[in-house]
Each structure stands twice: as structure tokens, then as C-alpha cells.
Amino acid sequence: MIDNEVIIVGAGPVGLIAALGLAKRGIGVTVLDAAGDILDEPRGMTYHWAALAGLERLGVLADAMEIGYLKHDWSAQVFRTGERLSMDIGLLKDDVRHPYSLVLGQDALGRVVMRHLAKHACADIRWGHAVTGFDQDDTGVTVRVETGSGTREWRARWLVGADGARSIVRSGLGLGFEGMTWGERFVATNCRGRYEDHFVSGYLIDSEYGAVVHQITTEGLWRHTFAESLELPEEGIEKRMADYFRAVLPGTDFEHEILRWRHYRMHQRSAETYRVGRVLLAGDAAHVTNPTRGFGLVGGMFDAFTLTEALGAILRDGGDDALLDAYSEARRRVFWDYTTPISSDSKRLVFEPTRERLETFRTVAADPDKTRRYLLSGVALATPSLLGTMNVWETVGASPGLGDL
């Protein structure tokens, strides 16, 4: 017996966006997550101009914009000198539908998507449902789930793993996770303080104190993420965090308060395929990148947009399931050809700045045409419609000539 047409493991933004995309086509979808609710942690929060039309197409952008805020620049600050560099996202007004970024905690975006999912009787979210394994055959996938009331099995035609970097689904497929791990860990903090008086919302460039510093809300909540060597033990993170902020924050009147923090390793890794039979991977379950450029969550959103188009065509229009092979190949190629090199260059600029890297960034910020091309690099994370019917490039006119981004 089929419980639902699609089961998605993982109720993060990628899983929820994929579920909404399917539900809007009337496809029965169940989302399973081991947690009791959406996690409220220092995670992704910036949605690039390249992906906003996808949220608009799903009907959630207006609600997300109402509780988030729009950022119209891409900025950096050199820690040692105080030099500030800024790029105007408005230069993309003739290229993309939304020439700005949306800033909103991914937990808040998840709740917006959940409200829209609740309007669809064919969609179902089950919290406290930990997937422990699965088996597939020619007609579907049987998923084993542990709940507070015991073990049960769910049956679906297709299974999507959107369950993060430590994906149970990817592990169950026996897939490797090719790539590399950076030699630093990120320490991400949600905090309050007089940031707007001293820092830009963007990059803080320095070989010792480099960080990604972003304003989260207009009410004074900021994200300050710095890096430290993986050779340092986890036990001393809180003390080193205090030492770091004493060195970086100016004066005694800054009134700095850390509300939440978490640490994690940074990777550039991808599964060898994003499809095995009736099981698909998306988001961090498929690939992980260092988050300096913000391409991790945005790349996962593009996975969801592309995958739901393919599954919708198969389940509702009689499409060939070879579309899913095309999904896998296209999204994996984007990760290695664009996400990884661009994110890696950004990480090195912020945390390993050289004179050449900094001068290149200055040159880009000073030249409107180079700024435009730099900002359009996010568009390269999209995959053109597998069916030729959906403008996933989301440009105002024709797809921009990206050239040598």
C-alpha cells in the first residue's frame, strides 16, 4: 500500500520548499523529521537575488519579505585598516526580477513555508519521526521510522533525502561523499551589540580575525561567524570565543551579548550521484560547501526547484523518469563547476587575504560592469528547466552572458 506519492526526509528549508512545490501540483507528500519542530540555530539567513523568483513562484516571497528585510548592497570591511568596499545589487535591475537579497533566518522562512503547506490537504509533516532505513523495489520505497510510540513503516513511490550533511538517506544508499574538509571550523554566533556603528553587514577581511558579519534583523540582531583551526580542541571554544571578541570588538561600550552559538566543520563535498533508483538527494544531503558566499542554502533551494519540476512531470504528466538522471547530473555539475570554486574563492578572500585577492575585490567593487558580473555569479547556481517550460534562470530578459565568472 502506498501511504503517499513522495516522502521527504528532513524538514529544513530545502525539504519544505520541495514539499510545497509538489503539493502545489496536487502531489501527495509526507515530510518526516526526527526533531520536534523547526530548529532555531545560527544557520543560513540570506537568499540571493538569483533565487527569490523561485520563492515568488511558490507564493511565499511576499510573506517572507514582510517579516524579513531587503539588503541592497554586498559589502566588505578590511579589519586592520577599516577600509570599506560596497557593491550595489541594484545594478542587476535589468537582469533579475528581484535586484536585492532577502535576509531572514532559515527557521523563520521554514515557518512561512509551513503555513503555505498547511493549505494543501495532500501535504503532511510528521515531527518526531526518525528514519532508520529504507528498501526500494520497482514500484516504490519502504521507509522504516522510529517514533515516540514505536516503529512503523511508510511506503511511497519516491523518496527524497533532504536530511543534511549527515544524511541517513545518503548513507543508506551507500554513496561516498567526495571532496575535502577545510582546516578550520566555523563558530557562528547570534548576538546583539552596536554593530551598525562599527561594521558593515558583510565580510570582515583579515588573516587572523576574519569573519562573516551579517545583520539578521532591523532590531539589532546580528550574526558574527569566525573561524578557528580544527587542531584546537572543542572543549575550549567558549573561552576562545570570548578572547576573539575582546580582540575584535571596539571599546567597552559595545554592549556585546551572545544569544546563541554553534560550531561546525566546513567542507566542499558531493555525493557521486543524486539519484539511485527511486531515491533522490537534495541540499546538504547531496552536497556541502563552506557558507562564506551563502551558496549552500541557495544551492539547495535550486535543487528543490529543479527536482520538483522533474517529479511533477513524472507523477502528473507521464514524464520519463530519465528526468531524474538529468536532475542529478545537472545539479552535481553546478556544484563542482560553480558552487565550489566561487565559494572557495570567497572563503580565501575573507580568511586568507593576500594583496592580490584584496586588490581584485577592490577592482570589482569600483567597476559597475565587473560588479554586475560578480553579482550575477549566483545565477549560475540555477539549472535551466529540464522541460524547457520554467524560467529557473529568473532573469528579466534573456539569460545573462556569464562568461568567465
Q: Per-residue pLDDT tens for 234-267?
A: 999 999 999 999 999 987 678 899 999 999 999 9
User: What are residue 33's phi and psi, to 5 degrees?
Assistant: -145, 140
pLDDT at 90: 96
User: Is residue 392 pLDDT above 50, yes or no?
Assistant: no
User: Is residue 340 pLDDT above 50, yes or no?
Assistant: yes
In which region does residue 156 sit, left (phi positive, over 0), alpha (psi from -120 to 50) or beta (all else)? beta
Pick the residue with more confidence: 72 or 383? 72
DSSP tag of 395:
B
Report angle CA 354, 358, 364 to the nearest 5 degrees: 150
pLDDT at 404: 33
User: Is residue 281 pLDDT above 60, yes or no?
Assistant: yes
For the segment 158-205, what is each residue's pLDDT rounded down to a tens digit?
999 999 999 999 999 999 999 999 999 999 999 999 999 899 999 999
Quote the CA–CA distance of 99 and 292 in Å, as a whole number.
20
Percent of the chain predicted with pLDDT > 70: 95
- pLDDT category at 3 given cuts 50, 70, 90 is confident
- Nearest to 347, CA basis, from 292, 296, 298: 292
Question: Are the beta carbons of 405 and 380 closer than 8 angstroms?
Answer: yes
For the segment 289-311, what is each residue's pLDDT rounded down to a tens digit?
999 998 999 999 999 999 999 99
pLDDT at 388: 72
Q: Please give the grid coordinates belonging to residue 168.
A: 541517513
Q: Please give the grid coordinates belonging to residue 18.
A: 520541495
Q: Any residues with CB less than 8 A from the CB of 153 and at least 6 apart, and which?
A: 142, 143, 144, 145
pLDDT at 19: 98
Strand 29-33 and strand 4-9: the pairing is parallel
DSSP-derived secondary structure for 371-394: HHHHHGGGGGGS---SSS-S-TT-
Ranking 48-57, 173-182, 204-213, 384-393 by mean pLDDT, the lowest is: 384-393
Quote the CA–CA distance of 201 and 100 in Å, as a whole number.
14
For the segment 312-322, what is each residue's pLDDT rounded down to a tens digit?
999 999 999 99
Percent of the chain predicted with pLDDT > 90: 84
pLDDT at 44: 79
Q: Provide mean pLDDT across the span 217-233.
A: 94
Quote the CA–CA distance of 271 and 274 in Å, as a whole number.
7
What is the dihedral sign for C-alpha 313, 316, 320, 324? positive
Q: Please give the grid coordinates belonging to residue 344.
A: 572557495
User: Is residue 352 pLDDT above 90, yes or no?
Assistant: yes
pLDDT at 389: 59
Q: Provide mean pLDDT across the span 81-91.
A: 96
Architecture of domain 4-71+99-177+268-348: 3-Layer(bba) Sandwich (3.50)
Residue 179 neighbours by CB distance under 10 Å: 16
Write down how long the chain is: 405
Residue 288, class by beta-carbon neighbours within 10 Å (0-12 exposed, 13-18 middle, 19+ buried)? buried
What are the sequence ranges of the domains in the chain?
4-71+99-177+268-348
Pick the residue with more confidence: 398 or 268? 268
User: Is residue 393 pLDDT above 50, yes or no?
Assistant: no
User: Is residue 9 pLDDT above 70, yes or no?
Assistant: yes
Q: Return the amino acid letter for 353.
A: P
- pLDDT category at 1 given cuts 50, 70, 90 is low
Distance of CA 66 to the CA centre of its chain: 20
pLDDT at 7: 98
The model carries a pTM of 0.93
pLDDT at 94: 92
Quote the CA–CA distance of 36 and 34 in Å, as a whole number.
7
Q: What is the average pLDDT score of the chain?
A: 92
- pLDDT category at 396 given cuts 50, 70, 90 is very low
Question: Are the beta carbons of 244 and 226 closer than 8 angstroms?
Answer: yes
Quote the CA–CA distance of 141 and 152 in Å, as a whole number.
14
Q: Any residues with CB less than 8 A from the CB of 195 and at least 6 apart, and which?
A: 201, 213, 215, 220, 222, 224
| Helix/strand/coil for 136 | strand
